[in-house]
Amino acid sequence: MPRDVSKRKLRAGIVGGGQGSFIGAVHHVAVELDGQAEVIAGAMSTDLQRARASAEAWYLKRSYDSYEEMAEAESKLEEGIDFVMVTTPNHVHFPVAKTFLEHGIHVVSDKPMTFDLEQAQQLVSLVESKNLVYALTHNYTGYPAVRHARALVRQGEIGEIRKVLVEYIQDWLMTAEEKTGNKQAGWRTDPSRSGIAGCVGDIGTHGENLLEFITGLKIKSLCADLTTFVEGRALDDDANMLLHLANGGKGILTCSQIAAGEENALSIRIYGTKAGLEWHQMEPNTLLFKPHGQPQQILRTGLGYMSDDAKAATRTPAGHPEGFYEAFANIYKMAIADIRRVESGQKPEGGYPTVYDGLRGMQFVYAAVESSQKGVSWVDMP
């Protein structure tokens, strides 16, 4: 029976995100940023003391010792949570999402969607069988300039796409950070918690998602050169890939966590028969539009000429920079709007990454790893 969600903030629960976590705190800010939801319950750590301290620091109403317990309890409460936020290491994404979906609770999950490809396929089936929202925080698609880029492609302003250059380079794992007690580094470089890929799963998938989101084109095949530069590390920390796109376009995707001096340098450049596009995550409110034979244009979020989709993702007037949190919050805003729709018997409208994007991400990771293992040769994507 749908709840009445029309006159109140939604109630959210969080799994993971205990003190010391990076992404949990991001989800916390993002989910509440637009005043449409409040985090009230959590199973924030498997370290129970940390779980409670974390819940208290966030003034949560209810803290649980396990996500199973939380799903069970919340699903029965009159004022139980409307949706859960999954912010754990990768290997727990699937069981948590599955558990809450099975308890009739909507899910917003961090990426990658699951630990392995099989789980991803199972989750697709599960979500398809439920009338519940499942949103995946490929947060970079929440930037208004990214959404405007997609709009320009859709409107034909770029023409037929010929070449795409995607980069996501960082340096934070350029030394054996995982041996210093850094929790983030610990699980991300551990195959038993991260999955079959390191850098490719962690950030390469963002690149893949961004490319397919903006261009509307599928990667048809790829040739991926994964490398582990830091001695003793089990997973890749760098990758260079050649891409073939479904329309005959060509591309490059490079991702790295050992690129000295780089912070979080996600960027995409797209070249079509009519124009080029360029976007950099670290200057997110600017989109370069490069029509052939005419001056390059600096498109800026918050200005009147932007597309409706970009405007819907923008809160401030031009020149008042929005950033990472606001883009992240845009995913939540759309997911929350859909939860309200579903709970009031309407059809969801989407706009955020879904279980299909999550599956696509896992397929990408598997193709990349397979390509690299086969001597860096070409592998088709599904």
Measured from the CB atom, the residue of 13 and 302 that comes closer to its own copies is 302
Q: Which of 178, 172, 150, 163 is nearest to 351 (CA)?
A: 150
| CB distance 266 to 170 below 8 Å | no
**Residue 33 interacting with its own copies (CB under 8 A):** yes
Least Å from the CB of residue 173 to its own copies: 12
Element (H, E) at 94: helix 90-102
Helix ranges (DSSP H) in 108-157: 117-128, 144-154
Piece of the chain touching its own copies by CB under 8 A; list 79-87, 103-111, 190-198, 314-322: 314-322
Measured from the CB atom, the residue of 192 and 247 that comes closer to its own copies is 247
| CB distance 34 to 328 below 8 Å | no
* Residues 261, 23: Cα–Cα separation, whole Å: 22
**Residue 344 interacting with its own copies (CB under 8 A):** no
Measured from the CB atom, the residue of 21 and 354 that comes closer to its own copies is 21
* Residues within window 80-139 making contact with its own copies, judged by CB under 8 A: none
Burial state string for 360-375 with b = 16 or more CB within 10 A and e = fewer than 16: bbbbbbbbbbebbeee
Measured from the CB atom, the residue of 82 and 167 that comes closer to its own copies is 167
Least Å from the CB of residue 359 to its own copies: 26
Q: What strands lie across the sheet with 250-256, from one edge to the other?
A: 286-291, 275-280, 265-272, 161-169, 250-256, 238-245, 219-227, 378-380
**Residue 303 interacting with its own copies (CB under 8 A):** yes
Least Å from the CB of residue 168 to its own copies: 10
CA dihedral 375, 224, 191, 16 (to 10 degrees): -170
One of 2, 104, 323, 382 touching its own copies (CB under 8 A):
323
* Residues within window 151-210 making contact with its own copies, judged by CB under 8 A: 158-159, 162-163, 165, 167, 170-172, 174-175
**Residue 281 interacting with its own copies (CB under 8 A):** yes
Whether omega before 112 lies within 30 degrees of 0, making that bond cis, reads yes
* Residues 259, 10: Cα–Cα separation, whole Å: 41
Supply the DSSP symbol for 210: H
Q: Which residues pair with 352 in a beta bridge?
A: none
Cβ-proximal residues to 304 (8 Å cutoff; 6+ apart), any chain = none
* Residues within window 9-28 making contact with its own copies, judged by CB under 8 A: 9, 22, 25-26, 28
One of 89, 302, 353, 361 touching its own copies (CB under 8 A):
302
* Residues within window 212-231 making contact with its own copies, judged by CB under 8 A: 223, 225, 227, 229
**Residue 232 interacting with its own copies (CB under 8 A):** no
**Residue 376 interacting with its own copies (CB under 8 A):** yes
Least Å from the CB of residue 352 to its own copies: 19
Q: Could you tell me how many residues make up the chain?
A: 382
One of 274, 309, 311, 363 touching its own copies (CB under 8 A):
274
Least Å from the CB of residue 182 to its own copies: 12
Q: Do the strands 83-87 and 10-16 form a parallel or antiparallel pair, or are they unpaired?
A: parallel
Least Å from the CB of residue 347 to its own copies: 23
One of 62, 220, 250, 341 touching its own copies (CB under 8 A):
250
* Residues 46, 201: Cα–Cα separation, whole Å: 23
One of 64, 67, 289, 366 touching its own copies (CB under 8 A):
289
Least Å from the CB of residue 33 to its own copies: 6
Least Å from the CB of residue 356 to its own copies: 26
| # residues contacting its own copies (CB under 8 A) | 93
**Residue 275 interacting with its own copies (CB under 8 A):** yes
Count other Cβ atoms within 10 Å, centred on residue 230: 19
